[in-house]
A and B are shown apart, each in its own frame.
Chain A
Amino acid sequence: MKALMFGWEFPPHILGGLGTASYGLTKGMAMQPDMQITFVIPKPHGDEDQSFLKIMGACNVPVVWKENSWEHVSHRLGWIMQPDEYFGLRNGIRYDFRRIHTNDLGCIDFSGRYPDNLIEEISNYEAVASVLAHQLEFDIIHSHDWLTYPAGVFAKQISGKPLVIHVHATDFDRSRGQVNPTVYSIEKRGMDAADHIMTVSNLTRNIVIEKYHQDPRKVTTVHNAVEPLPDVETFTKTQRQDKIVTFLGRITMQKGPEYFVEAAHRVLQKTDGVRFVMAGSGDMMNAMIDLVAKRGIADRFHFTGFLKGRQVHEMLAESDVYIMPSVSEPFGISPLEAMQVGTPTIISKQSGCAEILNHAIKTDYWDIDAMADAIYSIVKNPAMYKSLRELGTDEVNNIKWYDAGLKVRAIYDGVIGRNH
């Protein structure tokens, strides 16, 4: 089984959860012995882990025919790909893309981020997909998130191979319902053209069915999993006098930071010996600082700013409670990461991961009373802390990408069987 996957991010250079999920899923799928994955991203850095799949950089695929010597290509691209591969791909140019700005090799410069001209990058990605679809051998096309749907659809039209798309989020989650019509139309066209749609939770599945009018039979939930932490023992908890309750993530409307502040206020009215930490940055950060000051709890409420890499797990491991009051979260990987380092978690019922976790406290995102109650209970009752810590770690260690990979494979087999 050869799969051609279109993605946008791949570790170690990631900007959001999409890259982490892409990595975990492909790694889990690669454990199936006959699985070969080619993963296309706009701009690889060359330090990606390619031990279990092949990474293809869209920025190294020619879309406009340029005459170049072998030596020149080797000089320019040799560090990341074989020159022969470049010439092979060049034979796949069947359309005139000279309107797109290309470099001396006929390749497009991608930023690989989320720039202002994102829509243009998405359509350039489509051009790359056409070359790949003509020149590569594959059995199925798999597109990750809306940025890559047009590329997947075009590749399907050219190759006639089935397309599955993977919905990691929808614009309804990002915007609390105020969708961007351009984004919506890209998402909708991708879903309409797909042979099958995978969603990361039932919550997302319902949005896809209701808001994008998809046939429920065509939509299957494949819950995300979490990669085991290789150095999990190195994250330890320092003994402190005060208990620490942490919010960690982008401080944006979607993540519900204001509910965390209000819950903190409730808890501090009744008890001391608890400190609250809001880690991360985002457009609501200043508003949150204001709110904390207004509630008069600034002496017990701390902001850390943006954390990255190891700092994230360190912060989680030092916490007594991790809380994610997201208003709408397609899946939400961070509670699972908190549980990996043994931190009890409180999550909103509006998070996809709530569907697969038993040993986490679930409340409605708006229910600050329930949230405050849960915080109070975990910091005051050692039995509660111990249960959530021990049973939660066991639970999360049994959520494996390999199993998610098997579900994806079953969907592949289903759509391929149907097409033949």
Chain B
Amino acid sequence: MRNICFYFRIHQPLRLKRYRFFDIGQDHYYYDDFQTEDRIRQAVEQSYLVANRTIAEMIRSSNKKFKCAFAISGTTIEQLEQYAPEVIDSFKELLKTGGVEFMAQPYAYSLASVFDANEFERQIKFHADKLEELFGVRPTSFFNTELIYSDEIGEIVSRLGFKSILIDEAKHIMGWKSPNYVYSHPYISKLKLLVRNNKLSDDIAFRFSSLSITADQYIGWIAALPENEKIINIGLDYSSLGINQPAYTGIFEFLKALPYHAMEQQMGFTLPSEYTKKADTAENLTVTYPISWVGNDKDLTPWTGNDLQQEALAKLYAVSERVNLCSDKPLQHDWLMLQTSDHFRYMSHKDPYGTNFESPYDAFMNYMNILADFLERVDAQYPTSIDNEELNELLKTINNQEKEIEELEKEIKKLRARKAAKEV
């Protein structure tokens, strides 16, 4: 039986406010809440709520045959909690149907997978904790920021216990190979790779209304694929339902009709974690340099392609260890928020998708001013004049001292008590 695996990326960038260099050291709040709220509310009203209702109906009408997975970034969960808690409730409802899965990813929708393996692990755990706290489930399949993937990333993800990871159909990796099989990591065979079908995904996200695609046509395309291609992975940005393809195009009616036509053609629906358990793998896929799901080149250049981006990323990740030594909560939160990949995308000359800045230079200036303030705060906690190892030693000493003092104090108390007892 052929299976369709639908999954949706849910992420809205956190807008940074206009931050001038004379604010450095004066103002430690970096965000434009008005813009952030405006964006998330728009996404919620035009897309997320309607789409959630549609999916609930699809699950019900297909007698729970329809299934799909979600990848919600940690930063977006925070935004939803603050500005649209009804969406969280709506996801809880969906989860009860049993047809829905949440996937793991780095909390801040960051590029940590490429720049800082330790930070990457920390964020994955943090994100999984957040999901568990909200929805009571721990994710088992993995969706990296912008579907960034390489063998190295696969290795880390596998070490953390994930069995499957989603990747994109990059021409230079796949060659003649079809995305419609399950592949595996070149030297960790238990890690399965699910390859997004570019054409069928983009048909919905970008070409749905211009080609006036109907549900039976779409399922017909899938049915016409060679017999032995068993898994079709359709990955979309959730807001393409309702924003890129507005409700009036009939996108939601199209979705509602999909399960019926799929079942008519003997097709099922599946989840990333579910399918990889039972499927046979076709082959290994070797990915030496990281790929992503953006643009024609499917590489990292939209975030790391120019000098500005590399400078910003280098300065940011240089303090990773120090920040993680800190116990200052606001500082750690800012650390996450400043890692979101969108900030670097806006500095791209080539593809600054979704930017709210006038130019890549403008985005860079603003970010670097904020980063300068952030670094000063980190420096105030742990001066850069002390190197990391020395710092670790010092911290150990301080912590040990605390323990020792505690013990000594206990002893003093004991002695005093004894003395008091004697006097009586």
Contact = CB atoms under 8 A, between A and B. Distances in A.
A270 B311 contact: no
Contact of B311 (A362, A372, A382, A388): A382
Interface of chain B: mostly helix, strand, loop or mixed: helix
Contacts of B361: 359, 361, 374, 377, 384, 387-388
Interface string A19-62: 00000000000000000000000000000000000000000000
Contacts of A383: 307-308, 310-312, 364
Interface string A242-260: 0000000000000000000
Contact of A361 (B22, B308, B311, B359): B359
Contact of B306 (A372, A376, A380, A387): A387
Contacts of B22: 266, 269-270, 369, 372
Instruction: Classify chain B: how many residues form its interface, as a range.
Output: 10 to 19
Contacts of A391: 349
Contacts of A374: 361, 365
B349 A377 contact: no
Contacts of B24: 270
A388 B308 CA distance: 10
Nearest to B358: A362
A358 B360 CA distance: 9
Contacts of A266: 22
B12 interface: no
Contacts of A358: 349, 359
A390 to B, nearest CB: 8
Main SS class of interface, A: helix
Interface in B299-337: 306-308, 310-312
A376 B365 CA distance: 9
Contact of A373 (B307, B308, B349, B369): B369
B20 A373 contact: yes
A27 to B, nearest CB: 31
A386 interface: yes
B358 A381 contact: no
B364 A384 contact: yes
B187 interface: no
Contacts of A380: 21
Interface in A361-420: 361-362, 369-370, 372-374, 376-377, 380-384, 386-388, 391
A388 B349 CA distance: 12
A372 B365 CA distance: 11
Among A370, A373, A374, the one with the most B-chain Cβ atoms within 10 Å of its Cβ is A373
Contacts of B21: 270, 372-373, 376-377, 380
B175 to A, nearest CB: 34
Contacts of B310: 383
Contacts of B349: 358, 391
B307 A369 contact: no
Given A377-B21, A387-B308, A388-B361, 10 more contacts: A266-B22, A269-B22, A359-B361, A361-B362, A372-B20, A377-B368, A381-B311, A381-B368, A384-B368, A387-B306
A362 B21 CA distance: 17
B307 A377 contact: no
From B359, B365, B369, residue with most partner A Cβ within 10 Å: B365
A382 B311 CA distance: 9
A113 B14 CA distance: 58
Nearest to B364: A384
A377 B359 contact: no
13 contacts: A358-B359, A361-B362, A362-B358, A373-B365, A374-B361, A380-B21, A381-B311, A381-B364, A382-B311, A383-B308, A384-B311, A384-B364, A384-B365
Contacts of A388: 361
Contacts of A384: 308, 311, 361, 364-365, 368
Nearest to A270: B22
